[in-house]
Structure 1
Amino acid sequence: MSIVITGASDDLIEIDGDITEEFYGNDEDGDLLAFSDGTVLRISYTRSGVWRIVPITTGPGFVGITQAPEGDEDNYTDRAEVTDATWVVHGKAIAR
């Protein structure tokens, strides 16, 4: 199982692969995605027009993040990959 996370437009978070979903995003502080393997990612749309993904916590299925370059209109989103997750939850806050 593999899941790829990207941003689209200026307000959509896309989940593709074994789980397919589209979430409305673009909170100023970023949006959180939590996966069943324990991975938590923060995704945000920056003022420079690039979607950035940052790991908060990584689980065993976290593969990594490929960063998009600044200023490339054709490649405006980081790309994260998580494997072996059976669900994903979208939210705005995390408690520790």
Structure 2
Amino acid sequence: MTKYEIMFIVSTQISEEEKKETIEKVEKTLTRYGATELVTEIMGDKKLAYPIKKKENGYYVLTKFVMDGTQLVEVETKLNIVETILKYMIVRNEK
């Protein structure tokens, strides 16, 4: 099992409840495909370096988890259809 991090940016033009639902959706997707030891850190609203989908600000969330890397393709497939996520990146955590 390998340690990973996913940083995702949620639209700020949705309600706080919808933001929480999006975070829960990401966590449920990860656990469905075998992720364990989930630790989520909400970084809050920040200005984007460049506009994404015509948005200037985003709600940043970082989740650390342990998972078999072969399942990442399925996770990314599910995350690509979540409309409230502007952008995400999954990286391997070497620490």
The structure that has the greater radius of gyration is 2
TM-score using structure 1 length: 0.34
TM-score using structure 2 length: 0.34
Q: Which has the higher contact order (CA 8 A, sep 6+)?
A: 2
